[in-house]
Amino acid sequence: MQLHTHLAIDESLSGRVVRVRPGYAQVILPTHRAMLADRKGLIHGGFLFSAADYAAMAAVNDPHVVLGASEVRFLAPVRKGETVIFEAELEVRKGKKRIVKVQGKVEGKKVFEGSFTAFVLDHHILD
């Protein structure tokens, strides 16, 4: 299946979609120096959130999908050089509303989980 949304994402900062099928997406986020929060190698959570959001939007996979809300938990630190694998699954589809659950793991250990509420609009949000 082809990706139809968020086609201008900078994959070096938000990850790369490696799998997409109806209601599901997987994003791989290799971490690097530009993502550092400190000198000890901690990756800033904003980059993890971005990749998780990207995975959620890819699971919906509509060109007019937008994020409306999220509830997330950072479960463990991520260090520079680690690769985070995000899996997103569409759980609720009601009218324009979509709820997508996302998990992020490093070497099988869960480091992130969240619920993303998205909306599929009739046109681009900036139109």
Angle at Cα 14 formed by Cα 5 and Cα 24, nearest 5°?
Answer: 50
- Tokens linked to 105: 């793991």
Chain mean pLDDT for the chain: 98
Task: Report whether pLDDT(1) > 90.
Answer: no
Predicted confidence (pLDDT) per residue in 49-79, tens digit: 999 999 999 999 999 999 999 999 999 999 9
The token pair at 5 is 């949304």
H-run or E-run covering 11: helix 11-14
